[in-house]
Amino acid sequence: MSTQNPDPAAPGRGARPLRRRLLDEAARVLAEEGPGALSARRLVRAVGASTMAVYTHFGSMPELVREVMKEGVERFLARVREVPPDADPVRELAGLCRAYQEFARAEPHVYAVLFGGSALAGFELSETDRSMGVALLRFPRDAIRRCAGAGRFHADTDADLLVRQLFAQMHGLAQLTRAGYILGRYGPDDVLAGLLRDLAVAAGDNPTQATTSVRSGLAG
C-alpha cells in the first residue's frame, strides 16, 4: 500500500521533491511566524502547488505536522547527544539541562507542541510520540546514576523519581520563560542554576561543590 517512491532521483538538478519542500516550508513558517501562520493553503501557495499536494503526500494537515515534529525531535536528540561526557557527573547533568533549555529557546513552537500541549492545526500527540519524548530522559537519568555512583548523591538516590522531578523543572522553566513569567530580579538562568543546585544538594551533594559544578556545567 505504501508507495514510497524509491526513485526520487528522476528530477535532475537541485529540484527537491514537493514533499520535502512542503516540510521545509512548514518548518520555516512555524519557526518564523508561529503556529497561527501555518496553514495548508499557505504552504501550497509558497511551493506553487494546489491543496491536493498536502493530501497526496501526507493525508491531512495533522499528519504533515507530525512529520515536522518528528524532525524536531531528532534535532532535540542530536543536541542532547552532543553534550560531552564529563568526569564530574553533576557538571554533565547541568550540561544536559543547558542543552534542554537551549533547544526550548531555539525552537519554541516545536517545543511547545512536543511538550506544552499546544494544539497545532489539529495535531495531537500520539502514544508513540510521547514515548519518543520520554526516551530523552535516558540521558539525565544515567547522569544521575553516575552522580550516585561517584558518591556525589546519596547511594540510595532514586534516579527514576529524580529524573521526573528534573523533567518537571526543565519543562516548567522553559514554558514560563517563553510565556514571559520569569521577570524581575531573577532571570531564567538564575532560576535554572538555583533549581539544579538545590536538586543536587537535596540529593546529598556538598553545597559548595554543587554550586561549582552546576555553574561550570551551565557555562559549558
Partner DNA sequence: CCCCCGTCCATAACGCCGTTATGCCAATAA
Partner DNA sequence: TTATTGGCATAACGGCGTTATGGACGGGGG
Binding region for its own copies (CB under 8 A): 35-36, 112, 115-119, 122, 125, 130, 133-134, 160-162, 164-165, 167-173, 175-176, 178-186, 190-191, 194-195, 197-199, 201-203
CA distance 117 to 125: 8
Distance CA 7, CA 11 (A): 9
Q: What backbone torsions phi and psi does residue 183 show, to the nearest 5 degrees?
A: -125, 180
Q: How far apart are CA 193 and CA 184, in angstroms?
A: 16
Q: Does 15 bind DNA (CB under 7 A)?
A: no
Interface stretch with DNA, choices 35-43, 90-98, 110-118, 137-145 (CB under 7 A):
35-43
Which CB atom, from 57 or from 215, has the smaller least distance to its own copies? 215
- Residues 187-216 touching DNA, rule: CB under 7 A, are none
Rg of the Cα atoms in the chain = 21
Per-residue interface string for the shown chain with DNA, residues 114-153, x marking contact by CB under 7 A: -------xx-------------------------------
Binding of DNA at residue 112 (CB under 7 A)?
no
Task: Say if residues 61 and 113 touch (Cβ distance below 8 Å).
Answer: no
Task: Choose among DNA, its own copies, none what residue 175 binds, the Cβ cut-off being 5 to 8 Å by kind.
Answer: its own copies
- Applying CB under 7 A, among 31, 34, 35, 49 the residue interacting with DNA is 49
6 binds DNA per the rule CB under 7 A: yes
Q: Hey, what's the cell of 166? A: 528534573
- For the chain, the farthest-separated pair of C-alpha atoms sits apart, in whole angstroms, at 63
Q: End-to-end distance of the chain based on CA atoms, in angstroms? A: 49
Structure letter (DSSP) for residue 85: P
14 part of the interface to DNA, by CB under 7 A: no
Q: In the complex with DNA, which residue's Cβ is closer, 67 or 189?
A: 67
